[in-house]
């Protein structure tokens, strides 16, 4: 039974949005995968509805996505796993949850979070470069916790880039929901694949598990498969920490709900690092970063914007800049002065953004993280943090 056109179009739009997000953060392997999924959805839409009046637009979109895929493959160092022997051929869906890549993102692009960056250098970067300086070993498990949109994924990707290592990006929530009955096997398989890369490629590997609480979080009622998956994770982490002392493999878990993790799992994450909301200096730098491609009025000062954006996350600030630009474009189209572009003539442009434009957006767009949430993270951190 085929999907309705609107469902397929929504699916393509969702994949494209995710692709752009990964593309902008430097996770090019994930970007390629999601661009391709957007193309596949549009192709399916055109196949099911060949007389759709919008097919011409869909063809243009597919062409744009394909060109971006081609460019990313030509210009980046992304290396997607092609060794099918490392993955069970009878479970190709599992491969789609794993993306092996070399992120193109530097420490300088991670705004603020200095304590977190220093902790990751001590735990991963320095041991990778000079393991002889660590006779007692070094942490292999790192937990990044904090509000959503504060840079946990970017931190992990920048660390992988710093050590020129492979970056395994896995969504624990998807893995658990997709294969509840096989979660135990897939936890084992996941670690085996990562170890294979670390051993065969002689390169460090970072296994990044997003929403790790979906795998390790406390539940009021658990079925047998969940319990076995959690126990398997403990076994795998113990194996990394004790049996493979020279293996350059690290597990970074990210969570927005650190209080849902049981102590046995917390103990396997020797480093527990907070990624909190940006301070005023970081917010200023974020506005500088995201306004680079925008045309601003000369009176706009990032320092002033930073002062009035207290409580906003890094992701919120990016959304504010995007919304301000959308506002200006909307005004252009509705001005009555807009005309269709004529070949050879200069295209009409939106007005320069003013401070009031940003203020108006912030008056309608509140922070995504509440004060109560922030207090909860600080309270948990006081008891369990380990830098």
pLDDT bucket at 82, cuts 50 / 70 / 90: very low
Q: How far apart are the first and last CA of the chain?
A: 53
* CA-CA-CA-CA torsion sign (287, 290, 292, 295): negative
Weakest mean pLDDT among 97-101, 104-108, 143-147, 279-283: 97-101
Mapping DSSP to helix (H, G, I), strand (E, B) and coil, where does residue 206 land?
strand
Whether pTM exceeds 0.75? no
**What is the side-by-side order of every strand in the sheet holding 141-145?**
99-101, 166-171, 205-210, 249-255, 141-145, 271-274
pLDDT bucket at 324, cuts 50 / 70 / 90: very high
Query: Nearest 5°: phi and psi at 187?
Result: -65, -45
pLDDT (0 to 100) of residue 353: 96
- Torsion, Cα 29 32 33 36, to 10 degrees, reads -170
Find residue 143's DSSP bridge partners: 253, 272
């Amino acid at each position: 039974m085929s999907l309705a056109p609107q469902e397929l179009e929504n699916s393509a739009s969702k994949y494209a949005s995710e692709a752009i997000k990964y593309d902008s953060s430097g996770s090019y392997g994930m970007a390629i995968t999601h661009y391709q999924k957007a193309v596949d959805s549009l192709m399916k839409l055109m196949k099911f509805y060949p007389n759709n009046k919008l097919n011409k637009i869909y063809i243009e979109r597919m062409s744009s996505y394909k060109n971006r895929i081609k460019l990313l493959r030509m210009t980046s160092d992304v290396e997607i796993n092609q060794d099918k022997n490392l993955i069970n051929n009878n479970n190709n869906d599992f491969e789609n949850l794993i993306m092996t890549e070399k992120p193109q993102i530097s420490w300088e692009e991670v705004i603020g979070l200095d304590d977190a960056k220093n902790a990751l250098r001590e735990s991963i970067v320095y041991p990778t470069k000079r393991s002889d300086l660590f006779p007692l070993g070094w942490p292999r498990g790192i937990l990044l916790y904090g509000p959503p949109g504060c840079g946990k994924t970017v931190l992990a990707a920048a660390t992988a880039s710093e050590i020129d290592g492979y970056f395994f990006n896995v969504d624990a929530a998807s893995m658990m929901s997709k294969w509840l009955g096989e979660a135990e096997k897939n936890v084992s398989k996941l670690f085996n694949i990562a170890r294979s890369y670390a051993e065969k490629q002689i390169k460090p590997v970072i296994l990044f598990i997003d929403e790790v609480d979906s795998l390790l979080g406390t539940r009021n009622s658990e079925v047998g498969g969940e319990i076995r998956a959690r126990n398997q994770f403990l076994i795998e982490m113990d194996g990394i920490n004790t049996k493979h002392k020279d293996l350059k493999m690290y597990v970074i878990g990210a969570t927005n709900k650190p209080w849902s993790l049981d102590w046995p799992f917390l103990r396997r994450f020797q480093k527990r690092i907070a990624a909190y909301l940006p301070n005023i200096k970081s917010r200023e730098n974020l506005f500088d970063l995201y306004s680079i491609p925008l045309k601003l009025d000369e009176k706009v000062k990032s320092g002033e914007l930073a002062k009035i954006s207290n409580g906003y996350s890094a992701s919120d600030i990016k959304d504010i800049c995007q919304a301000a630009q959308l506002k200006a474009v909307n005004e252009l189209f509705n001005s009555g002065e807009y005309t269709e572009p004529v070949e050879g003539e200069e295209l009409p442009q939106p007005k320069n953004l003013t401070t009031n434009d940003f203020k108006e957006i912030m008056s309608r767009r509140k922070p995504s993280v509440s004060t109560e949430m922030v207090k909860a993270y600080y309270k948990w951190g006081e008891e369990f943090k380990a830098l």
